[in-house]
Amino acid sequence: MSGRVFILGAGASRSDTATRAIPLPLAREFFKPHYLDEHWPGRPGLSRHFQGSELQKLVDSYFSKTTDINASRSDVNVEEVYSFIETYRTLYMSRAYQPQVVLDRARAELLYDIEFVVKYCSFGVKSPVLNGRLAKILAPGDSIISFNWDTLTERALRKSKEGRALLRRFDAIASPGKGALEGTNPSAALSDMHAGYFLKMHGGVNMTKCINEHCLRYRYPYVWPDDEEFVDGWACNQCGSRTEIMILPPHIHKTYSGNRFFRLQASIAAQKLRLADEVVVIGYSFPTFDFEASAMMRCARSDFCEEADDLGPFQNRLVLVNPACHEMNYIERAKDLFSVAAMGAGQIEVVCYKTVGDYLQAEMRSRSKQPKASSVTNQL
Ligand SMILES: [Zn+2]
């Protein structure tokens, strides 16, 4: 039994907070004025306001496109800013006129800003609609691969039996000492392969890690309760070093391979995609600079050695839920990654929905029936 794989991007969390005064932002909205005004962290030792902060100076210096700073800043991608700071600090520091401490402060401000915005734009949302429905329809073997930093999915998963099983397995991945070593038994290893998983590919605001590279807790994150407010104010309980929030935007110097937890998740994700009979992509835009995520999805294709041909692929349905579903570039990108055309006519059915509401209505109320005519069905 292969199961389904749900891939969740920022659009999924956005839809679950859409009715709030300030919904969870997409990657290009973090620097819009209302997010900076309402949720700027103002932590001790850092600037009390965005204006005047090291982060503000950095964003305006390196990302402005026009002389109107507010307008220019409003379209800046937060993942690109984080990637830029990390790369600057590790690779291009020799050309910097600023001391390292300034970049370090900008990085700390950005991490706190992401944490506060993500946490408080979703704070108190007890019953997220999309995530709640997903949790209810999960079958044994279904998996969720999330690229989101918020905890909406965890909150929903706690309310269903299958969801709680996914969270237990997630805890085992984060802290293997708690029982994930049963894989030495062959039958347990097989059931593990077909089990469902919940994976947070980019970490989350409920996870922290020790900053000491030699510490156990550098590799094994702390996973905090979903709505815990101050997760990064504690010293590491293994070595006493400072801890910081564990989020991973895609960039070259912080890949999945650089950390045990992220590497293990990526390996499991590729395996689940390889075995899945249906992949449902909700609110994920397939960003071209997220090379490792793209490679992971491409791994869902059949293996390139002849001996493996009879193993698959197993996938027979690809569902895309995204406002960009009317754009051929988006659909073609998804088809390419999941080998739709390469598999030949009719092998993989592609179904597109522009909104989460359309998807929920058409798919979840009648799982066993064909999609309704109102959806754009693109069968090759
Ligand atoms: Zn430590």
Q: What are the strands, taking DSSP E only, across 211-326?
A: 222-223, 243-247, 278-282, 317-321
- pLDDT tens profile 282-310: 999 988 778 888 888 888 776 555 554 55
Give residues with Cβ within 8 angstroms of 311, minimum separation 6: 302, 303
Of 139-143, 168-172, 175-179, which range is least confident? 175-179
Under 8 Å between Cβ of 254 and 86: yes
- Residue 118 CA to residue 188 CA, distance in Å, equals 37
At residue 199, the pLDDT reads 96
Distance 237 CA to ligand 1 centre (A): 6
**Is the pLDDT reported for residue 314 higher than 80?**
no
Distance 224 CA to ligand 1 centre (A): 16
- Residue 26 CA to residue 10 CA, distance in Å, equals 6
Q: Is 90 exposed, middle or buried (0-12, 13-18, 19+ CB in 10 A)?
A: exposed
Under 8 Å between Cβ of 11 and 93: no
Of 12-16, 223-227, 276-280, 282-286, which range is least confident? 223-227
**Is the pLDDT reported for residue 324 higher than 60?**
yes
**What amino acid is encoded at 99 in this protein?**
P
313 preceded by a cis bond (ω within 30 of 0): yes
Q: What share of the chain is helix, strand, coil (3-state, %, to 5)?
A: 45, 15, 40
**Is the pLDDT reported for residue 13 higher than 60?**
yes
Of 22-31, 103-112, 252-261, which range is least confident? 252-261
Under 8 Å between Cβ of 59 and 81: yes
Distance 223 CA to ligand 1 centre (A): 14
Distance 282 CA to ligand 1 centre (A): 36
| Average model confidence (pLDDT) across the chain | 83
Distance 104 CA to ligand 1 centre (A): 20
Confidence tier at 180 by pLDDT (50, 70, 90): very low
**Is the pLDDT reported for residue 240 higher than 50?**
yes
Q: What percent of the chain has pLDDT over 90?
A: 41
Q: What are the strands, taking DSSP E only, across the chain?
A: 4-8, 143-146, 198-200, 203-210, 222-223, 243-247, 278-282, 317-321, 349-353, 376-379
Q: Which helix (H) or strand (E) holds 165?
A: helix 161-174
Residue recorded with tokens 């919940």: 198
Under 8 Å between Cβ of 201 and 219: no
Distance 118 CA to ligand 1 centre (A): 25
Distance 243 CA to ligand 1 centre (A): 7
How does DSSP classify residue 24?
Answer: P
At residue 201, the pLDDT reads 93
Mean local confidence (pLDDT), 186-204: 79
Contacts 24+ apart (CB under 8 A), 93-100: none
**Is the pLDDT reported for residue 375 higher than 50?**
no
Which residues does residue 267 pair with via DSSP β-bridges, in sequence order?
none
Q: By C-alpha distance, which of 218, 215, 263, 244 is closest to 82?
A: 244
Distance 123 CA to ligand 1 centre (A): 28
Start-to-end Cα distance in the chain: 25
Confidence tier at 362 by pLDDT (50, 70, 90): confident
DSSP line for 350-375: EEEESSHHHHIIIIITTTTSPPPTTS
Distance 242 CA to ligand 1 centre (A): 7
From edge to edge, which strands make up the β-sheet containing 376-379? Answer: 198-200, 143-146, 4-8, 278-282, 317-321, 349-353, 376-379
Of 51-55, 69-73, 131-135, 365-369, which range is least confident? 365-369
Confidence tier at 181 by pLDDT (50, 70, 90): very low
Q: Which residue has the higher pLDDT, 120 or 287?
A: 120
At residue 174, the pLDDT reads 87
Distance 231 CA to ligand 1 centre (A): 15
Distance 220 CA to ligand 1 centre (A): 10
At residue 197, the pLDDT reads 95
Q: By C-alpha distance, which of 321, 319, 255, 252 is closest to 285?
A: 321
At residue 345, the pLDDT reads 63
- Residue 321 CA to residue 163 CA, distance in Å, equals 21
For the chain, the structural domain boundaries read 4-18+127-202+248-376, 33-123
